[in-house]
Amino acid sequence: MALSVSFTSFSTLILLCFFASLFPGNAFPSQLYHHPNHRRFASHNYRDALTKSILFFEGQRSGKLPSNQRLSWRRDSGLSDGSAMHVDLVGGYYDAGDNVKFGFPMAFTTTMLSWSVLEFGGLMQGELQNARVAIRWATDYLLKATSHPNTIYVQVGDANKDHSCWERPEDMDTPRSVFKIDKNTPGSDVAAETAAALASASLIFRKSDPSYSRLLLTRAIRVFAFANKYRGSYSNGLKPYVCPFYCSYSGYQDELLWGAAWLHKATRNPAYLNYIQVNGQSLGADESDNVFGWDNKHAGARILLSKAFLVQKVQVLHDYKGHADNYICSLIPGNPFSQAQYTPGGLLFRMNDSNMQYVTSTSFLLLTYAKYLTTAHKVVTCGGMTVTPKRLRAIAKKQVDYLLGDNPLKMSYMVGYGGRYPQRIHHRGSSLPSIAVHPAKIQCSSGFSAMKSPSPNPNILVGAVVGGPDQHDRFPDQRPDYEQSEPATYINAPLVGALAYLAHSSGQL
């Protein structure tokens, strides 16, 4: 069995856990006096969870792995990606448990990792650098995917053929077909999300690597202009390849608003502010859709644009405080605008397939809005009910705590965190023996015996958060069950920010 993390860090961790368990409740008595909340000691090790949530991205890497790769059961893969169209598309991330590089969710993942660092990176301590590396792994790829003007390479891999095999990424031999959008086959959704990813990441590297930051921002400007000028949804032109996997069900309007919001934030060019003022309503700024994720960015755009009003005092965006409040009210139980649905155990529940992406993205927006409100000394009013930033933080913390193990099954939904976590995640690389243990190729269909086997996965994809429990808090932990047992980069990306906040505050709100 392959070691999943480098031996030193893993054994240090085990030692720390061991000593902590020797002194439950009185190992650090001074903290008890400063924080007379008894849950402190029963509470979660958010910093450990933060470390793992970022480590997960190393397990999703495609391309040539660096010598400091910590998830060492993974090896190089996809080294000729792009050759089908004579372009270099080596690198980037596999989205989830398969070996396809889907540009649409990869770009959203990048934007959310960047937003996580922008809001809470100052609290990440030693993990800040790892978070930056995780972002750069994506942006290096997105720069390649956007290197030709008015063209974006939006996917590598034929999803249907990939899904009919159960192969390690290192072995894969299904077609590495390349799919692109251009003037004739537009995709404003994937293009504007890619622009958002590049623009948000430019802010991450502004101080640490100014020339890289400028490259990202210049590219973001060009890509957004392309997204806006050649309008259409990529899932029209590329339907057989991107649907039903990452079909743009919500259309491209949400991404144009979200992309413009990020371009405004990154450039401070009033042209984007003007764009938002002129087009906001037609792009759905005040629609009531409230599921924020890889497909629909409206809620995120509302919260992000509310910051410009609340914190930067951009008066012309004052409506976005109201738009953001409406979104927040829809999540709060017990008010006339509430649409909140919870499992009996208390988990926000909106979808059977990968519900945890909804939990992590919502928790991030709650904590982020709480931060803006606090800065501006504001609250939310939901039909006569006053909702404070503290309340928003409490809701978010409860969701993250559920994810980490405070739930009816006492199950952590993050692999490698806590005493009990999913053992049979729907992930090809994690479920097949590593190259180190089994160097011989495992063919397309031979992998399915491992997929169907009840044995635990041999490689621990540390930090992976799976789709999670069903609407009755049940979790069968069965590998074929992709709805509940598959991890995805866009589940983790917003969780990184939420965990940084909670680690800093140690769960004190």
Residue ranges in contact with ligand NAG by CB under 6 A: 351-352, 471
267 or 471: CB nearest ligand NAG: 471
Closest residue to ligand NAG in the complex (CB): 352
Question: Is there a contact between 159 and 210 (Cβ–Cβ < 8 Å)?
Answer: no
Helix axes 188-204, 103-120, angle to 10 degrees: 30
The neighbour count for residue 335, using CB atoms within 10 Å, is 18
Least Å distance, CB 491 to ligand NAG, is: 17
The neighbour count for residue 269, using CB atoms within 10 Å, is 12
Least Å distance, CB 335 to ligand NAG, is: 21
Catalytic residue among 167, 189, 406, 486: 486
Helix axes 127-145, 46-59, angle to 10 degrees: 30
Distance CA 53, CA 30 (A): 29
Distance CA 176, CA 114 (A): 28
Least Å distance, CB 488 to ligand NAG, is: 18
- Answer yes or no: 98 catalytic: no
78 or 469: CB nearest ligand NAG: 469
Least Å distance, CB 281 to ligand NAG, is: 29
Least Å distance, CB 109 to ligand NAG, is: 23
Residues 6 or more apart whose Cβ sits within 8 Å of residue 228 = 188, 192, 256, 275
- Answer yes or no: 483 catalytic: no
73 or 402: CB nearest ligand NAG: 402
Least Å distance, CB 483 to ligand NAG, is: 9
User: If DSSP codes are grouped into helix, strand and coil, which group holds residue 424?
Assistant: coil
CA within 13 Å, CB half, 135: 33
- Answer yes or no: 173 catalytic: no
Distance CA 418, CA 405 (A): 7
The neighbour count for residue 149, using CB atoms within 10 Å, is 11
Catalytic residue among 477, 481, 483, 504: 477
β-partners of residue 178 are: 156
313 or 474: CB nearest ligand NAG: 474
203 or 491: CB nearest ligand NAG: 491
Question: Is there a contact between 18 and 12 (Cβ–Cβ < 8 Å)?
Answer: no
Residues 6 or more apart whose Cβ sits within 8 Å of residue 496 = 50, 53, 54, 112, 113, 116, 117, 131
Least Å distance, CB 350 to ligand NAG, is: 6
**Apex 377 CA angle, 372 and 383, nearest 5:** 85
76 or 483: CB nearest ligand NAG: 483
Catalytic residue among 44, 264, 298, 426: 426
53 or 355: CB nearest ligand NAG: 355
Distance CA 130, CA 51 (A): 8
User: Active-site positions?
Assistant: 426, 477, 486
